[in-house]
Amino acid sequence: MSKKICIAIDGPAAAGKSTVAKIVAKELHYIYIDTGAMYRAVTYAALDQKIPLHDEKALGDMLANTQIRFEPGEVQQVFIGEENVTEIIRSLEVTANVSEVAAHPVVREELQKRQQVFATEGGIVMDGRDIGTAVLPNAELKIFLLASVDERAERRYKENVAKGFPSDLEQLKKEIEERDHLDYTREHSPLQKAEDAIELDTTSMTIAEVATSIHKLAEAKINQ
């Protein structure tokens, strides 16, 4: 039986992390952990409960009493307690506010603990902003995905249109630039490439090409 490794995939918003991570996990028969969905779930819960997003203590108190879980499916299902929030956490309102919520240390520390529990037995693919640096610093394979702002905005635009969300390409470019700034400059666990991460610029690559590249790197690690 081959060993099971942990694969950490980091990168800025709309770099293709989740899409690629799902493909790689399926091909390796690994569990996929969408950490971005966890931050989105917290953001949705805060908005739903009218909690001020700048109030770190209130967010921490809410999170302490909030269960976030995943269930498998054609599309991985995300739940807060018994409420299926898979679709609503991808709304434009949640997207516009998730970086502010994710910047709070109390939120990041709690979710990082939960993410580390998911990874204890290996055989997982986890994507996010700080997986290789803060959540899984000992992951056997770390990938850092990059793509131009224009390319990432185009991808997000097509995703939104496909899901029926109203979307403006120029506004998306502006929002992605703002999220990049927040993610790279936040004080707690900023977005950064781990020293031992392999960088992949996906601007001129298809999703299939990126997934194939990561799969090959994973196989090499598994067979070492």
- Strand (E) positions, the chain? 6-10, 31-34, 68-71, 77-80, 83-84, 124-128, 141-146, 198-201
Q: For the sheet with 141-146, list strands across it.
A: 31-34, 124-128, 6-10, 141-146, 198-201
Has 73 been labeled as part of a binding site?
no
Has 185 been labeled as part of a binding site?
no
Has 11 been labeled as part of a binding site?
yes
Q: Which residues contact 158 (CB under 8 A, 6 or more apart)?
A: none
Strand duo 77-80 + 198-201: pairing: unpaired
- Locate 22 and state its tokens: 């799902």
Report the amino acid identity of residue 138.
N
Q: Given CA atoms 194, 196, 201, 207 in this order, what sign does their dihedral have?
A: negative
Closest CA to 11 of 128, 186, 153: 128
Burial bucket for residue 164 (CB in 10 Å: 0-12, 13-18, 19+): exposed
Has 16 been labeled as part of a binding site?
yes
Has 13 been labeled as part of a binding site?
yes
Residue ranges of the annotated binding site are: 11-19
Residue ranges of the annotated binding site for ATP are: 11-19
